[in-house]
Amino acid sequence: MKNVIEQYIRKEMFPHIWCPGCGNGIVLGALIRAIHSLGWEKDEIAMVSGIGCSSRITGYVDFNTMNTTHGRALPFATGIKMSNPNLKVIAVMGDGDCAAIGGNHFIHAARRNIDITAIIINNMIYGMTGGQYSPMTPTGKFGSTAPYGNIDQNFDISALAASAGASYVARSSIYNVNQGIRFIKKALNKKGFSVVEILSDCPISYGRMNKLRTPVKMMEWIKSISVPKKTWEKLSVEEKKDKIPMGEFLDICIPEYTEKYKEICAIAQQGGENE
């Protein structure tokens, strides 16, 4: 059988631009395998990204794709979904792209519960532009703009998505690929705003500044801080420090935005009034 990955990539765009050991390739492979297992046609899919290392994924896959401006993947994805609700719309974002300049868009996409799957590759740093700390850089860790340690509290983007109104929220890591594929597949199949956060490595920008100088060292660190959700819930406050829960955090069925919008349009076209 033809290699699964080769069926979905644009070979003319390779070799890729990612650094050796970068986790983006692992996430790309997981995403492709999840899509393949669902049996979707390429033309059914629209994949959107913003700016950043992870955002290059849209250039490598043979779907309907759009590489947009920094932090704006979700507004573009929203426009695509509103204009053609039949498309399977996926937004791929990095932690800075999603949670900083794109933070407001993320909150409101979740609040609307629009049928888009958000894949957030969280490597805890701005890897492409020099290693600046991001909203998801752990407190106390180092970046080029935090040479003495980050004093900000970092976002729990999965908790934010759940509280803002999403239908499905899960977190995995590049260490646990099969779990990630499972979560992505479930998110893609979910009607409503679905979020999968993937904890990833950046051995060049994050790793070198935080004494994790090789991809293996950073992978081992990700493994060491990852705790299954059920185990994490039983830990004390002190034990939870420097640990990150992995698993599914939300899976509910609530009205989806494009369907409600279609109903409103039908009422308006019939000359209906608000009673």
Q: Is the pLDDT of residue 3 over 90?
A: no
Mean local confidence (pLDDT), 28-40: 96
Cα(267)–Cα(208) distance, integer angstroms: 58
- Specify whether the CB–CB gap between 244 and 158 falls below 8 A: no
Q: Is the pLDDT of residue 137 over 60?
A: yes
What are the chain's domains? 5-269 (3.40.50.970)
Cα(244)–Cα(196) distance, integer angstroms: 14
pLDDT value at position 273?
64
Give me the residues paired with residue 93 across strands. Answer: 120
Mean local confidence (pLDDT), 10-33: 94
Mean local confidence (pLDDT), 223-248: 94
pLDDT, tens digit, for every residue of 243-274? 999 999 999 999 999 999 999 999 998 886 65
**Mean pLDDT rounded to a whole number for the chain:** 94
Query: Which of 73-77, 170-174, 268-272 has the weakest average pLDDT?
Result: 268-272
Mean local confidence (pLDDT), 71-93: 97
pLDDT value at position 272?
65
Q: Is the pLDDT of residue 4 over 50?
A: yes
pLDDT value at position 275?
55
pLDDT-above-70 percentage for the chain: 98
Mean local confidence (pLDDT), 87-115: 95
Kindly provide the b/e burial profile for residues 23-38, where b requires at least 16 CB atoms within 10 angstroms of the residue's own CB.
bbbbbbbbbbbbbeee
The amino acid sitting at 175 is Y
pLDDT value at position 1?
43
Q: Is the pLDDT of residue 73 over 80?
A: yes
Q: Is the pLDDT of residue 2 over 70?
A: no
